[in-house]
Chains A and B, each alone.
Chain A
């Protein structure tokens, strides 16, 4: 999934904190007779058109109102929903997916292979500017569906040249229940993408009236919209009884939207909200009060300290390694996040398929070793370090803590530079950052490849096309071997080798993953709570009232 921004505590709290309150009558309506209401909390989604969804809020709603070919199981495997069985292939290049019959949209449209093709053509078409279109980038014919480059000149904005093709030639609807996808190159990981919201089907009625569909989605999932999306206030859903797969045991699902700095936790404390995630400051308090009703879990999002490898001083790997060894990650977690975090000793978190522990060779704190390394490196004594972040409270706190530690352990003076987010992102892309910078990653699909390729791979041999200016020939070779490996295990083995190189060359110093804690209230049957560690959310459909 995409990151809305380097996750602020609020976003984490709002998403992982799924609030359940039976409202109205005040006593739990039995789940068995299908009635009852559940209230949850959410941040404001950016979009409810599936191929345009790039953040967790939109994704949360989309997974209730829509359903796609596959869903992700708790272990990251593909669980067929509309698809019939796993995707099959003989050469990892051409993939065949069979569909079940009987699925339709809430407006009656029938779901078949042709509809999927049309949905995906719509998703990639450059004119629609869907944020999730890059998920299709490895499918043959993708380039032709993109608009021409931005030709804006002095006279004013011009539209990019229209796409050369208005369909994605790599996708074919062989018959009503068979989809055939052809990739540019063989890529064994490809199926892992298919559970993502970008691949969800969209109705014809939606594609021809996109703005209306954004306000009242025409879904095909276990829930349907009641009324419109009340921006920044609420989203109300109700069970769609004609859904042919698993439905909820309760009837209504309401989301109260919290924006800006308001969070659900005070409402939880006051009793109007039964499940929420405590704010970081309130964590200890919550743990002692609600201990056994609290679910604490790892999040698949990682935070790291990126290095400007293109910079003279930081091009020296010893500097990067020394800094990484001088950071006491656990201390930061304990102090700033009340222990709600897990130190990373690899580049990927543990729940991701293909994870290998300990690939980062310099993630353990070792002050003496760090000092020794620094002395023998290009680092000039007395130089003032610049630490960069965007203006999120989390980023600023983490970087201040790191700066303080580097000061204490290595005697380096630091200066914190904060930029507004758009400027920060732009400077990163333009490689204008002059010191270590705060960076994070939220996975798009469950594979360790996703934590590496989009970030550190590069076409240019001087690494000029990634944010870090990092290029390593051996790493590139290993990633290519992984991409073309015959099966997942072989692929993961190669990816792990590539990861080990990253763990020594350190384009970033992996820091930690956040843990999310969610407290379940009395109105919910605790045993019905199923948290999917890959998606980082609770499965709402499976919830039962107590």
Chain B
């Protein structure tokens, strides 16, 4: 292949014969490392907080029962993190703020994998004009700067309603779609590169000579192997999506009120940092950083473990 992109973007392609032992090797290796275990635990906790916030709302305060009279109140026994400027319990807000970000990240990463994966396999396998179309599409999407495109899309679809979805998803969908639109190109390129590399391998030729259809070869043989480099990037992608959502929320574009996210809390808390209430910025920042850090550490560890070159 003379395609320069292959050289740059192809991360790691584990040798087919060693796949199974590579995975279990990696698992055994990771199990023993303390950073991995701690990160995995933190992620588990955050996922639980995200999907079952009620469990963690130990003090039973309703984040939406806000009393202006209590504005910016301090920390106390029954209100661990005090109150924000509207008099809403800050601890409850931080707990409920986890859900939208995390759910959004998972939805986006899953969708990106599916879409990017499908396109990548098609482009890599068929080559020719199919590949050309996808590559041009990638160019088009990449040359529109993320924030500009996101702002345009999100200001348009602020109030988009899909009938039948709960309010929680309503609030997430516009941001999710925007992030998917701007991230599928990365996954697609990665998988395409992988597919191109494995296209010429012996076992593929063998399957073809045995009469296997295109679809069978693509999805039964190539895809599982092409997915390996991408799988190790999943936690890192989730971390990236959480960051992206926080950035969008900070600009007032992300998840819509009345859903709360850490990004929104940071946005309002920032102004108070040097003017007497640093807590309002520090609490959501801490939650955000810890969550992202956990995903990053785990992602790093998995990627290193699956990389045969570093063995």
- A: residues with CB less than 8 A from B are 279-285, 328, 331-332, 334-336, 391, 393, 396-397, 400-401, 404-405, 407-408, 415-420
Contact = CB atoms under 8 A, between A and B. Distances in A.
A336 B252 CA distance: 18
19 contacts: A280-B271, A284-B275, A285-B276, A328-B68, A334-B71, A393-B252, A397-B85, A397-B86, A400-B66, A400-B86, A404-B66, A404-B86, A405-B68, A407-B65, A416-B257, A417-B159, A418-B257, A420-B155, A420-B158
A400 B88 CA distance: 11
A67 to B, nearest CB: 39
A511 B256 CA distance: 25
Nearest to B88: A404
Sort A-B residue pairs by CB-CB distance and give the 7 closest, nearest first.
A281-B271, A335-B71, A404-B66, A285-B275, A331-B68, A335-B68, A282-B275
Size category of the B interface is 20 to 34
Nearest to A419: B159
Q: Decide if the interface of chain B is mainly helix, strand, loop or mixed.
A: loop
A351 B75 CA distance: 41
A418 B158 contact: yes
B87 interface: yes
Nearest to A393: B252
Interface string B48-89: 000000000000000011111101100000000000011110
B68 A282 contact: no
Contact of A335 (B87, B257, B276): B87
Contacts of A391: 155, 158, 252
Contacts of A418: 158-159, 256-257
Given A282-B274, A407-B64, 14 more contacts: A285-B274, A285-B275, A335-B71, A391-B155, A396-B257, A400-B66, A400-B86, A400-B257, A404-B66, A404-B68, A404-B86, A418-B256, A419-B159, A420-B155
A83 to B, nearest CB: 46
A30 to B, nearest CB: 36
A416 B167 CA distance: 12
B162 to A, nearest CB: 16
Contact of B87 (A393, A404, A415, A416): A404
B65 A408 contact: yes
Interface in B99-156: 155
B174 to A, nearest CB: 12
A145 to B, nearest CB: 37
Interface in B262-281: 271-272, 274-276
A401 B68 contact: yes
A415 B69 contact: no
A334 B72 CA distance: 11
Nearest to B253: A391
Nearest to A399: B257
Contacts of A400: 66, 86, 257
Contact of B271 (A279, A328, A415): A279
A281 B272 contact: yes
Contacts of A401: 68, 86
